[in-house]
Amino acid sequence: MSNLSILLIDDEDSQLQSLKTFLSKREFKIFTASDGESGIKIVRDNVIDVVLTDFKMPGMDGHTVLKNVKSINPEIDIVVMTAFGTIESAVSLMKDGAFDYLTKPIDLDELENILSRIRERRFLLSENKLLREQLQDKFRFESIISRSKPMEIVLSTAARVAQTKSTALIRGESGTGKELIAKAIHFASPRKNKPFITVNVASLSENLLESELFGHEKGSFTGAINQRIGRFEEADGGTIFIDEVGEIPLPIQVKLLRAIQFGEVQRIGSNTTLKTDVRIIAATHRDLEEMIKMNEFREDLFYRLNVVTINLPPLRQRKDDIPLLVDHFIQKYSATIGKQVTGISKEALDQLIKYDFPGNIRELENMIERAIVLTRDQIITKDDLPITLNEKNNLRAFNPYDLEDSYETKMKLFEKALISEALSRTNGNKSAAARLLGITERHLRSRLERLD
C-alpha cells in the first residue's frame, strides 16, 4: 500500500497527528488539513488517491467535502470519519460516492483493512484499464459491460493472461460470455494481428470435429472430395478458441493433447506432421474433474488446458451489472430494429434484477430484444417482459419440493429450458441438439411444435 497518497482532514489536531503518525510509518504519502476548505485546495494542487475526512467540522462538513472532491476528481476514494454516525447518514454518504465510513474512536485495524481494499480495487481497475487500451477496434472492450467486483476480478486475470502464451480455461455456465472473454484475451495479446478461430465442439459430430480441428486430405473418407485445412493450421500464429471442450470425444482428446504438447498436427489421411504455433483458450460449463473420475476426460489434457483458470460468474452473482447490460441491449436493439425505445421502467427493471437468469446474459439479451419488438411505448414496461417474470421466481418451477405449480406446468417449463439450452449450445442446429439430448431430430421437431 506504499504508493497511496492520503489527505487527512480533521479539525482536531490530536486526531490529525495521531493518524498521520500511524499512516506515515506504513510508507503512505500524507497530506493534512484542519478544515474542509484547506483540504479542497490540497486536492486541486496535488495528486491525491484517498481522502480521509471528519464528518462534523466547522464550516464545510464531511458531506460537503465529499461532494466537492468528487466534482474535482471522481476517481479519488473518500472515507468519512464520524462520531455522529447513523444508518441514514451512512447510506447518504455511500450514495454520494463515499468508499466507506469509520466511527470514532477510529479502529486502526479497520482503517488498514479499508485502505487495503482501496488499493486492491485500484490495482484491478488499473489492470483493466490497461486491457481496454490494448484492445483493437476489431474487438472493442466496451462490449464487455461490467462494474461488479466478480467481473473486475475476471478482467484483471484476463489482462495478465493476455500477455503470455499460456493456455487458459474459461469456466462458467452457458450464456455467461465465455467467447467474449476469449476474444478480449486474444486482441489484448501480442497475437492480436493474427487469426482468432472459434470451434464449437457441441455442434459437430466426432468425424466432423476431427476434420474441423486438424483438416483432411482428399479421399481420406467418404465425402472428402477436396483437401481441407484444419482450424489449427488456419489459426497459426494466433489463437484457437475451443468452446465446450468437455464435449470432445476421447480419441480426439489424444490428438488435441499432442497438438498442445508438441505444436504438431496431422490431417486425416496424411502421414505428414505439420508444425503450428497456436495459443489455445478453451471453455466449458461442465465439471471436468468429475469427468476425469468417470474416465470421460483425460487428466493429462485437463492439466495442459488448465494452466490458468478464469471462472466466469453467472449473471445472478453479478446483479450490479444488470442495469448496465439492459441499457446496452436497449441501445443495440433499438438501432437494429429501428424503434425509438429510450429506456426501461423502474418496475420492469426491478423484475429483471430479482430474476435469477438461468440462461444468463444470453437470456437477458433475448428478453430485451423481444421487449423492444413488442413494446408500443418509448420505454420497456413490465408488460413487455415474459409472463413468467411476474411470478416470484421462474426457478421455482424446477424445485421438486415446491408444489405451488402444477405437474404439467413444471414439466413444460423444464422441457422448454432443456431444449432451449441444447439449441443454444449447438447454435440452433436441430440435428446436433437432438444428438445432444439423445433423441431423434423428428422427436425434437415434434416437441418444438407442441411447446410452441
pLDDT confidence bin for 138, thresholds 50/70/90: very low
End-to-end, the C-alpha distance of the chain in Å comes to: 58
Higher pLDDT, 376 or 124: 376
Write the class of the CATH domain 321-450: mainly alpha
Task: Confirm whether 5-103 and 321-450 share one CATH topology.
Answer: no
Structure pTM?
A: 0.59
What is the reported pLDDT for 167? 95
Q: What is the pLDDT of residues 328-337, one digit of tens each?
A: 899 999 999 9
3-class SS at 61? Answer: coil
Are 49 and 79 in contact by the 8 Å Cβ rule? The answer is no
pLDDT of residue 170 exceeding 60, the answer is yes
Under the banding of pLDDT at 50, 70 and 90, the label for residue 361 is very high
How many Å separate Cα 381 from the centre of its chain?
Answer: 27
Cα–Cα distance measured from residue 305 to residue 291, given in angstroms and rounded to the nearest whole number: 15
Query: Is there a contact between 313 and 150 (Cβ–Cβ < 8 Å)?
Result: yes
The domain 145-311 is placed in CATH, from the list 2.60.40.10, 3.40.50.300, 1.20.1050.10, 3.30.460.30, at 3.40.50.300
Q: Rounded to an integer, what distance in angstroms lies between the CA atom of residue 432 and that of residue 84?
A: 65
Cα separation of 372 and 334, whole Å?
Answer: 7
Q: H-type helices in 142-249, by residue range?
A: 149-162, 178-187, 206-214, 231-234
Residue 376 has pLDDT above 50, yes or no: yes
Query: What rounded mean pLDDT belongs to the chain?
Result: 85
Q: Where are the domains of the chain?
A: 5-103, 145-311, 321-450
Residue 344 has pLDDT above 50, yes or no: yes
User: What is the reported pLDDT for 201?
Assistant: 92
Cα 398 to Cα 414: distance, rounded to the nearest angstrom: 7
pLDDT in tens, 187-228: 889 998 899 999 999 888 887 898 899 988 887 777 667 788
Asked if residue 365 has pLDDT above 70, the reply is yes
Percentage of residues in the chain having pLDDT higher than 90? 38
Domain 5-103 falls under CATH 3.40.50.2300 = yes
Q: How confident is the model at residue 369 (pLDDT cuts 50, 70, 90)?
A: very high
